Amino acid sequence: MFRFSFAKFIRKIQIIFFYPYKYKGSFILSFLPKSILIEKSLIIEEDVNFSNIINFIGEGTFIGSRSVIGNCEKIGKFCSISKDVKIGMVNHPLNLPFTSPRLYQKKYKIVKKNLYDHDAIKPVVIDNNVLISSNVVIIEGVKIGEGSVIGANSFVNSNVEPYSIVGGVPARVIRYRFSNKRIKELLKLDYDNIDNLLATQNSDD
């Protein structure tokens, strides 16, 4: 049965008529939180769900449809996030007998004190130039390093090192994209200098 949602209707109006003027040079088909700072030349496809935690998306980043951006505060420049990716998913305590929040969070008025504090878990941070393939799940509290690649259908529950290629459940390092020397050079790049980035892209190294 179809149910009309006035809030969703207003959001759709904003996306269609207001976003092209507010975010000139970008192509955005999903609703963005008010607190977010976005740079130019973004592509955000339809039905991407953002939490209010996200506060920055860098220039040239792509986010595919039906992705969920949960406990994540930053997505860097020139990142490619495929469809159906889930970032910053809430974890549950495994050291308690019961994993239902109703039996460890005070707000449900069953237990008298919080037995596990979700707010203490740091948000995900995604550095520049990251490729996240489709159907990846990233648990909250991890950092995704610059230039890294995460293979499709992977489950990421630990930090991903710069310029590494990871995959699997849980995700493990498959290999590094470049030599240690080359990685150190790439980590010095200034992502605000597009000419320097293009020169690096076209170099023979």
User: Which residues are marked as active site?
Assistant: 92
Beta strands across the sheet bearing 72-75: 37-38, 56-57, 72-75, 124-126, 143-144
C-alpha distances in angstroms, 177 versus 17, 147, 166, 187?
42, 9, 10, 13
Give the residue among 170, 163, 139, 171 at the shortest CA–CA distance from 70.
139
Q: Which residues pair with 63 in a beta bridge?
A: 44, 81
